Structure 1
């Protein structure tokens, strides 16, 4: 097999006709060497001299995974079916050499310098490719739409439930008013009993109001009434969700609030 044919699709391949340096002499085989367990060790590849891998392809994949997980940038300087040399980016001393052990496809690490003298690179080219995070714009758009469907679906499910009945069951004495128009939700007023009691018993008799736009799936406007407690902190009293912020919606909110918390003559 032509070594160029084996590597022609590898973007990290740098052709080199030089043989391995003398420090990569064959290791004696009269001892038991550690073996790389692909299913377990690929979660966090670690290398050592003498380590045995099942094939050249497995060795390349292990180096790439190590590269992605450690934020380094490794190139294969010598790269064919018999031997592979990996070096880190220019100026870094990290490098690894592996070659065929025998007539089988097994590869053995012959030399390994494990220390990096470079800084971690957050723009690792292997991370997107090998961890499958490099997706097209079309795929990203589809996944965004799918995520929104999941979120909106859960909101629809909540709206189908009897929210008012659940609040009244768990917060006895609360006030909830739901306004419908031809059986379509229009407005909701909520004042929890504990908030109502806390305002009456421990807050100054001053109410502040404000409104904001809702950016969720159902949009609308939230109007809220707050008080000031004994620690001079904002205390929520009641809120409404309405379709639009206008005179009619504010009048409905404040009228419901005044009746609910018994707002009387404010001359005092």
Structure 2
């Protein structure tokens, strides 16, 4: 076994083989890996005699030397651009009069001859900020990969700038800057202002509040940059900024298969399915629908929630649109419990059949073949057929609020009808329900005929006691829709992550 053995007299000297002394040479000694690796390493016997020969003085000297090394390292400063211009390079003369541009806050940007930028893009960005700051427009005379020449767009103004690439073929410098804006008035509407520039400047504002109104962004632009921008442009600015913050919509959909696999790997028992259109040939498949349910959600519903499922769809307002379908339950504390969710292209019987078929398969994976659950929703097209196709013995409830709105759209409204309808909807026994319906018939017989056409349960006296739930509205489902509303105009992966975080 090898043991560290300090050499006598090594505390303040260097290795004579290297021919180096104290001071800054400590750095070069550390960098010499070949000689420094084993210079203080010797083989010792198993008796540990060399170990006993170490004394406290030698160990103390070793510690002092390490502390001295740290002090020397702290004194080393990074060289600046000017420190490199020591005359050792033939290119120094090209930079001796130059000044490297240091980022300045908007409102205090100043340009001068021989101001050096890292590249052409950096020069153009600073020039645009300067023009908007000073309130004038540019007229470009020449612009290519080697030089850039522009003048003030106002006729009669002698302001002119010329910049070009330097001999290192990377950095750019302002070679000449002449004239002044003596007769130019400040432009309140500057054509130089673009969507890209506004996104760059307003990104912190949008990132802090994704729902910031466009009027607020317009006021911030007016106050900070003293320019007026059409309000319609800020809608595009918000879209581009959200794409920068959360990624693009197309990339998000393309990552869905990997997202589904990650869910199944990290959450055993979870159900994740992605469905695609395959048009054949060399055409890439297109997204059709998806269905997600975490293992804890389905097990928690089957073991600790009431046998009632609220289903609803919410429209996505992102680039590709679509419908967010959701299924929620109610636990023993009457709190919302998310069961499953997914995205489909349109809300139709086909999409609801897809969703309910996967919901039934989800239960069967957990060994539950129960098909007599209670489903509550509004009177959406295709829901009844999709539910009874996959859950033949299911009980259907209709949201009373949506039924009342249908009556109101049919012409039955007013304080009297509103009061009678909700008496009938909240009636816990047939007597109160029949009395309310008799008065509704006196109000308008056609209203009674319309309510009789509703085959779903909507009055509480019709509900089965075994369900232990007297909800006759889908307010608990609408609460979930309210939670997802701020994210429904974002990429689908960001929406799903918000749902996952909320349901935890």
**More helix, by proportion:** 2
**More strand, by proportion:** 1
- Find the structure with the greater CA-based Rg: 2
TM-score bracket, normalised by the shorter chain, equals: 0.3 to 0.5
TM-score, reference length from structure 2: 0.26
> Which of 1 and 2 has higher RCO (CA within 8 Å, sep 6+)?
1
